[in-house]
């Protein structure tokens, strides 16, 4: 215990399949960084002129920013306190009151809020029959907006992989549409940047936004916003404000970043994880093999379904156990919690407690031994309750 705060040992004691926690688990290097740099403004020990976070060279924060931009195939990058602040910076720079912004109909709520914050209006692209956003549907929506409002949308905000199904969307197709209509294109890579290779230029993106705590083995909040040189002056514009009494100026500070962004341990932990993150994205195929192995085993349980696209292109998957574990829950004295109890007995956590119909899981970062153990555990629970396993 830390006073009355319990120690969180779940990553050491349990297999955790929580949909949003998997790829944000810290590397040992990040854990060490948290120990050494936890004090408030720890990154400011060697802050010298021009007094801005991304210019600090000790520890090598400045170098990290350059490497980060290169890592995502863009010209410039900034760290931000969560991807949502990245969406906000982009939207706030480009969108004005009444402007339309194209989003996915699986867009994260923070994309909605970023647009609402500036008085814009979201216009959702419908999914196709596979729950995927296509370039064609995006073009149709743009035409509809143009027809309805007499103006083109100011921005396209599109998810690479969505949070609901973990489906891959046609980013290249959307990027082509964005270019055809000359609409700036921002890609939400919250579920991809840090787990698989990302090349913003190749995607046709003007902006790339990622999450440190979701996919970059970093603490919350942390994230990335990256752009091209063409857009950097707009999104990373510096303040022009002058105090009317004091005549003070803060010239080098970037307006959308509110000056310095991710100060302290969160940034240093991101930096500490970076070498391992850079390496792990090369092994995304292995993660997909494990994800598909588990899902195939999961589907051997009679009544189980997968709601995400198949075969899996991500480790995040939405499943449906209405035809299996939910049947047991209907008459069990613990209702849906029987399933959580059974998982916990087998040292597995992270499912939505009590849910036995539609729920999500994420296998990212588990070893093969853990994946096989997970599959066997699901089979074991099914067999215990008389559900057939093929």
Partner 1 sequence: MVEKAVEETFEALFALTDLRQIFRDTKPTYRFNSEQKRQIRDIIEKVRGSLDVIEKELIK
Nearer to partner 1, 39 or 199 (CB): 39
d(CA 123, CA 153): 9
Stretch that binds partner 1, among 26-34, 46-54, 148-156, 306-314 (CB under 8 A): 26-34
Please count the other Cβ atoms lying within 10 Å of the Cβ belonging to residue 242. 11
Told to check if 327 binds partner 1 by CB under 8 A, we report: no
CB of 11 to partner 1, least distance (A): 5
Told to check if 242 binds partner 1 by CB under 8 A, we report: no
Taking CB under 8 A as the criterion, the residue among 2, 4, 7, 12 binding partner 1 is 12
The mark string for 118-147 relative to partner 1 (x by CB under 8 A, - otherwise) is ------------------------------
Told to check if 348 binds partner 1 by CB under 8 A, we report: yes
d(CA 180, CA 170): 15
Taking CB under 8 A as the criterion, the residue among 370, 379, 385, 389 binding partner 1 is 370
CB of 365 to partner 1, least distance (A): 9
CB of 368 to partner 1, least distance (A): 11
d(CA 247, CA 232): 27
Told to check if 346 binds partner 1 by CB under 8 A, we report: yes
Nearer to partner 1, 244 or 369 (CB): 369
Number of residues that bind partner 1 (CB under 8 A): 18
CB of 79 to partner 1, least distance (A): 23
Tell me if 330 sits within 8 A of 311, measured CB to CB: no
d(CA 205, CA 195): 18
Stretch that binds partner 1, among 95-103, 110-118, 260-268, 343-351 (CB under 8 A): 343-351
CB of 346 to partner 1, least distance (A): 7
Interacting residue ranges for partner 1, rule: CB under 8 A: 11-15, 25, 28, 31-32, 35-36, 346-348, 367, 369-370, 373
């Amino acid at each position: 215990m830390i006073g009355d705060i319990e120690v969180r040992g779940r990553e050491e004691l349990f297999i955790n399949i929580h949909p949003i926690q998997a790829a944000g688990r810290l590397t040992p290097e990040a854990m060490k960084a948290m120990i050494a740099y936890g004090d408030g403004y720890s990154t400011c020990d060697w802050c010298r002129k021009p007094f801005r976070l991304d210019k600090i060279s000790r520890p090598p924060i400045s170098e990290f920013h350059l490497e980060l931009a290169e890592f995502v195939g863009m010209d410039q990058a900034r760290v931000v306190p969560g991807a949502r602040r990245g969406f906000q910076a982009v939207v706030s720079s480009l969108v004005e009151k009444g402007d339309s912004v194209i989003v996915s109909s699986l867009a994260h709520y923070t994309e909605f809020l970023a647009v609402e914050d500036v008085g814009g209006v979201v216009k959702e692209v419908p999914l196709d029959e596979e729950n995927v956003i296509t370039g064609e549907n995006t073009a149709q929506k743009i035409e509809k907006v143009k027809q309805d409002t007499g103006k083109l949308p100011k921005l396209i905000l599109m998810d690479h992989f969505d949070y609901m199904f973990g489906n891959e969307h046609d980013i290249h197709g959307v990027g082509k549409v964005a270019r055809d209509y000359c609409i700036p294109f921002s890609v939400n890579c919250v579920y991809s940047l840090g787990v698989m290779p990302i090349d913003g230029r190749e995607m046709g993106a003007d902006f790339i936004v990622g999450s440190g705590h979701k996919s970059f083995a970093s603490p919350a909040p942390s994230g990335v916003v990256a752009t091209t040189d063409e857009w950097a002056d707009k999104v990373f514009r510096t303040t022009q404000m002058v105090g009317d009494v004091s005549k003070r100026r803060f010239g080098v500070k970037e307006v959308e970043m509110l000056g310095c962004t991710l100060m302290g341990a969160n940034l240093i932990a991101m930096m500490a994880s970076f070498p391992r993150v850079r390496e792990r994205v090369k092994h995304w195929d292995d993660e997909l093999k494990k994800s598909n192995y588990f899902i195939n085993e999961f589907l051997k349980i009679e009544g189980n379904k997968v709601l995400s696209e198949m075969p899996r292109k991500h480790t995040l998957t939405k499943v449906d156990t209405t035809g299996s574990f939910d049947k047991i829950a209907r008459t069990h004295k613990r209702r849906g919690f029987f399933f959580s109890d059974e998982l916990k007995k087998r040292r597995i956590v992270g499912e939505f407690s009590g849910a036995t119909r539609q729920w999500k899981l994420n296998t990212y970062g588990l070893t093969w031994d853990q994946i096989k153990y997970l599959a066997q555990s699901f089979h074991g629970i099914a067999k215990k309750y008389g559900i057939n396993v093929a």
